[in-house]
Amino acid sequence: MLCPICGSIEVIKYLSLGKQPLANALIAENKDSVVVPRYELSLCLCKNCLYVWVETKVEPEELFSDNTYLTGISSQTNKDMGEFANFCISTCNLTDHSKVLDIASNDGTLLTFFKTKGIEVLGIDPSKPAYEIAIKRGIQTINDFFTIETAEQILEKYGKMDLITGTNIVTHVPKPIDFLLACKRILKSSGSIVLEFYNFESLISNNAFDQIYHEHTSYFNLTSFSNVVRIAGLKIYKVQTVDSQGGSLRVFISNTVSIEDNSVNKILKKEGGNEDILKRYLDFPLKVLKKEEEILEFFNKNVGKSIIGYGASAKATVLLNFLDIDADIIPAIADSNPIKIGKFIPGTGIKVVAPDKIIEYNPNIVIIFSWNIKHEIMRFLKEILNQKVMIATFIPNLELVPLFQVKHQ
């Protein structure tokens, strides 16, 4: 096997989460929700350039066309998107004459913050449900994948862009160099590409193996992503670390900027050299096995209790299928996304219910699977549940505490 980035033969398969269903492909009927197509979910690592990727490729149309994820559901995500847009506007010197393209724009949440400032916006996303919501919100959107072909079509119809944004999109592309070259094709010489994505360093430090799924084909820290950017003939000139999704990098990329912000070298220095990074990466599978043991012990200790979940996220699908937890243990998971309610977590038979239905199960324990927005969920749970309910989170740390003792921001 050769590394898709550098062509090295120093490639190893170093973490397997078994055969997993597609994490965001919720099932409409209970009878179909347990026996579903499954695909090997394993990570490969290039020991030369440190690129990490999912070994088994699933066709993009199968992964994303009916994706149930919606950006605008979470108030915390909305807040993050607003901050992202404002920072881009100031850093990239945008005006009401600027044009912004958001790749994998989902329901248009990010672009609404640019549009309210009078900036011309365009989104592109393959998800039909998200696209339809974006159109209703007045966000001009193309319902398609971003490729070199669609980039050429955008160039012909809309011209070059002052800013190209993408939140977590770079983790979804199996050919990141081709993706950046397509961005470069439609970027003005003075423009910027700003990409925000999970930092693999944070994923490891959080032991967040539930963020690994087939849709996330690529994983980077700044060191490995810098290699990709350099090969594409572009330059990173600024980097921020942000809290979204448990720890992400926000990378500013340009054609022409020659002055590099000291933030770049600061983060590269913190990551250390290839030897230090490789050691952290190779220790990760042992941390996953330890976490698996901790969570299974939690369920063994709480047999017979009424356990309900909150957050029918991709994280929940991965974790539940990895641990072989089904509806006999967790009959329902609450979620505020209307597209998900009434459907079932693939591979488990667990039903997704509206948040206010959670009280009907008289839960002893509520497990928060969307741990990255834990504080937002806690504020809601305190409004509807009594003080005797216990709250559990598994990642970053396994915790079980009374609802009204949980501190939130």
**Could you identify the residue written with the tokens 């072909």?**
149
What percent of the chain clears pLDDT 70, i.e. is strictly above it? 96
Q: Residue 246: which pLDDT band, with cuts at 50, 70 and 90?
A: confident
**135 near 129, Cβ under 8 Å?**
no
* Residue 350 forms part of a structural domain: yes
Q: What is the CATH number of the domain that holds 21?
A: 3.40.50.150
219 found inside a domain: yes
Q: Is 390 contained in some domain?
A: yes
**What pLDDT digit, counting tens, does each position of 140-194 carry?**
999 999 999 999 999 999 999 999 999 989 999 989 999 999 999 999 999 999 9
Is 2 within the bounds of a domain?
no
Residues 226 and 371 occupy one common structural domain: no
Q: Count of alpha carbons within 13 Å of 239, Cβ hemisphere only?
A: 22
Percent share of the chain, pLDDT over 90: 79
Q: What is the number of domains present in the chain?
A: 2
Q: Does residue 190 share a domain with residue 102?
A: yes
Based on the fold, state whether residues 201 and 308 are members of the same structural domain: no
Claim to verify: residue 323 and residue 190 sit in the same structural domain: no
* SS3 assignment, position 208: coil
250 and 313: one domain? no
Note the pTM of the prediction, 2 decimals. 0.91
17, two tokens = 């989460």
Looking at the domain assignment, is residue 376 inside a domain? yes
Q: What does the alpha-carbon distance between residue 354 and residue 336 come to, in Å, rounded to a whole number?
A: 6
Pair 263, 316 in one domain: no
> DSSP per residue over 307-345, as a string?
EEEE---HHHHHHHHHHT--TTT--EEE-S-TTTTT-EE
Query: What does DSSP say about strands 332-334 and 307-310: parallel, antiparallel, or unpaired?
Result: parallel
Is 287 a domain residue?
no
In this prediction, residues 375-403 reach a mean pLDDT of 90
Q: Within this chain, do residues 86 and 124 fall inside the same structural domain, yes or no?
A: yes
Find how far residue 87's CA is from the centre of its chain: 20
**Distance between CA atoms of 346 and 365, rounded to whole angstroms?**
22
Of 279, 295, 324, the residue at which a domain comes to its end is 279
Distance between CA atoms of residues 382 and 373, nearest Å = 15
Provide the domain limits for residue 380: 304-405
pLDDT of residue 141: 97
Identify whether residues 151 and 98 lie together within a single domain.
yes
Query: Can you list the alpha helix ranges (DSSP code H) found in 137-219?
Result: 148-158, 176-185, 200-205
Sign of dihedral through CA atoms 99, 126, 227, 209?
positive
- Residue 284 within any structural domain of the chain: no
d(CA 380, CA 135): 29
Tell whether 298 is covered by a domain.
no
C-alpha pair distances (Å), 223 with each of 45, 69, 70, 226: 14, 29, 30, 5
Q: Give yes or no: residues 87 and 235 share one domain.
A: yes
Are residues 272 and 328 located together in one domain of the fold? no
Instruction: Note whether 98 and 223 are same-domain residues.
Output: yes
Do 127 and 236 fall within a single domain? yes
